[in-house]
Every structure is written in structure tokens, then in C-alpha cells.
Structure 1
Amino acid sequence: MIDFDGYRPNVGIVICNDKGQVLWAKRYGQNSWQFPQGGINDNETPEQAMYRELFEEVGLKPQDVKILYASKYWLRYKLPKRLLRHDSKPMCIGQKQRWFLLQLISNENNINLYTNKTPEFDGWRWVNFWYPVRQVIIFKKEVYRRALKEFATFIFSQKDPFKQDEIKYIKKSIQNNELNKQQKYSKKYNRYSSNKSKNLR
């Protein structure tokens, strides 16, 4: 199903563990990593598509996860020209995605990349919350940044003490990552200032 603008409806899935890390998956037979994602069928809601893709791509069932948040709007990215299929009608020029933030509530041993005859991934690992924005293929970077920023805004807006307990490790992961970025920037600035001072002598 492709909309009038040429975008295919799609879901993106961010799975968090109890340390606030997110699941990062390696595409089958490639050195390319991404979040699980997949198309929405004509008769599906975004949530139904998310659960189907969750099982097909990483082997997790609804009872293995808890939905923490779903993005409010469609996030779009265009495909590079080299990936466009000009002979297909209608032609798909990109994806429009609804993103889901999930908490893994079962054992990570339930993750299984081979429930499908044609698996999407052949490896996975846990990474820090913002890591995917820096590492994903370039044409998906802005969508990843916007999705994770929306999730982070939701996480830090929570006042309910029960929800606070559920998301405390994700919040800590985000905070630690921001602190590391600030420290790296500070070191880089200090080196720049030092070199500039030497050149002025």
C-alpha cells in the first residue's frame, strides 16, 4: 500500500532493556544495522503491524513487551535514487513511519531472528539510546533523530511514580549519553582554545 505522495506506510520499533539500552539489529548478510521495521498491510492498524513485525523480525510476542509510547505523527524519509524501482506502479519514493517504544519484560533469550524463512537480521546487540542516530545509514538519520527525540521528551515528561520506575533506566541512559557528549565537546573546545593561544604567541 503506497499513499498518493509515493510513501509506503511502515512501523519502526525501538525495544529497551532494563538498563535503558536499545536493541540494534544487523541486516542479514550485510554490514548494515538498524531498528526493526516493516510495512503496514491494508487491513492492519499500526499497532497490529508492529506486533506482526516484532515476531517476524525478532521473534518476540505481545506478552514479551510493553508499549511505553507510540509516535503521534508519521515520520517520513525518502529513498536514494539508486534504490527506487522505476518500473513499479505506483512507484515508492520512501517510507512514512509510526514509531513504537517498547520495554522488554521477558528474558532476552526469547529474541529469535530466525522465525521467518527469510530473516531480516542475522545479529543483534544492546546499544546506548542515542547510538543509532550516529550509526544508521544516512538517509534514515533524521527520522531516527526525530523518533528518539520524541521518545526522550515523553520519558522526561513523566510525573507518575509508577511510570517513573518503568523508565528510570532509559532516562539514566539518555542522561549518561548527554553527559558524555558534553565532556567530549568540552575536551575538544579546550584543545582548540589551547592551540589558538599557542598560535597567538
Structure 2
Amino acid sequence: MIDVDGYRPNVGIVLLNADGQLFWARRVSRDGWQFPQGGMHTDETPLEAMYRELQEETGLAAHHVEVLGATHGWLRYRLPSRYVRHHQRPICIGQKQVWFLLRLVGGECELKLDACEKPEFDLWRWVDFWYPAAHVVNFKRQVYERALRHFAPLVEDLFGIQLGKLPPRDDADSPPTGPRDGRAAA
């Protein structure tokens, strides 16, 4: 489904753990890391699409999470021209997204990257709140920044912390480091 302006309706998921860190995952057979996201079906609301994508990409069901908030309206990004499939009609020039902030209420053991037939991710980690905005691919950065800025006050209130401001961008798309990660089952 592509709208009249060439944008594909989509949902994005920011998943928090009990320590206020965010779920960050590596795309299968790629070096790119991102939040779970995915396209909406024509008969779905953004909330329904979010729960479907959550289950497909992380193995989590509705009872494993609590919805804390959502962005208002669509956040858009354009695809670089090398990713636009000019031979397909209608032409998709980018994505428009509603973002959801979720808190994991189930255990980490519930995360299953191979919950569907064709997994999107092969590795995941918990990262600090602002990390994704500085490390996602360039064409998604502005949307990530906007979504995280929208959710920052909710996270600060929930955890009683100050997240500070968005740090300067780091153009290196290197994977995060840290002791906690999870892999898809082999």
C-alpha cells in the first residue's frame, strides 16, 4: 500500500527494558541496526500493525509489553534514490510512520528473533536511549530523532531520570558494544 504522495504507511517500535534501555537489532545478512518496524496492511490500524510487527520481528505478544505512548500523525523519511524501485507502480519514495513506545513487562527470554518464517533480525542488544538516533542509517536519522524526542519526557517521568539532550551525530554506523546481547536461535 503506497499513498498518493509515494509513501508507504508503516509503524515503528521503541521497546524499553526495566533499566530504560532500548531494544536495538541488526538486520539479517546486513550490518545495519535499527528498531523494529514494518508496513501496515490496508485493513489494519497502526496499533494492530504494531502488535503484528512486534510479534513477527521480536516474538513478543501483546501481553509481554505495555504501550506507553505513540507519536501524533505521520513521521516521514525518503529513501535514497538507489533504494527506490522505479520499475514498480506505484513508486514508493519513502515511508510514513507512527511510532510506539513500549515497555517490556515479560522477561527477556520471551524475545525470539526467529518467531516468523523469514526473520528480519539476527542479533539484538539493549542500548542507551539516544544511541539509535546517532547510529541508524543516515536516511532514517531525522525520524528516529523526532520519535525519541517525543518519547524522552515519558521515559524521564517513568524512570525519574534526566536523559539530557540528543548527542551530536556519529556518522559511523558501527554496531553497539556491550555485554548483553541476544542471537536468533540457530
Q: TM-score, normalised by structure 1?
A: 0.80
**2:136 paired with 1:136:** yes
> What are the superposed Cα offsets for residues 126-156 of structure 1, whole Å, 9 maximum, x if unpaired?
0000000000000000000000001113445
Q: Is the 8 A contact 2:20 2:155 kept in 1?
A: no
Partner of residue 164, structure 2? 178
1:88–1:20 distance in 2 versus 1, CA, 3 Å: same
Task: State how 1:72-151 maps to structure 2 within 5 Å.
Answer: 72-151=72-151
**Map of 1:189 onto structure 2:** none
Within-5 A mapping of 1:1-201: 1-156=1-156, 164=157, 167-168=158-159, 171-172=160-161, 175=162, 178=164
SS of the aligned residue for 1:96 comes to strand
Larger radius of gyration: 1
Alignment match, 1:199: none
Deviations along 1:88-129, one digit per CA (max 9) or x if unpaired, are 100000000000000000101100000111100000000000
Task: Give the SS at the match of 1:129.
Answer: coil
AA matched with 1:81: S
* Structure 2 Cα separation of the partners of residues 152 and 93 of structure 1: 29
Query: What is the number of residues matched between the two proteins?
Result: 168
Q: CA deviation at 1:68?
A: 0.2
* Equivalent position amino acid for 2:47 in 1: E
Structure 2 Cα separation of the partners of residues 179 and 51 of structure 1: 30
Cα-to-partner distance string for 1:153-187 (whole Å, 9 max, x where unaligned): 3445xxxxxxx5xx11xx52xx2x538969xxxxx
Extract unaligned runs of 5+ from structure 2: 169-186
- Poorly superposed stretches of 4+, deviation over 6 Å: none
Flag the structure with higher helix content: 1
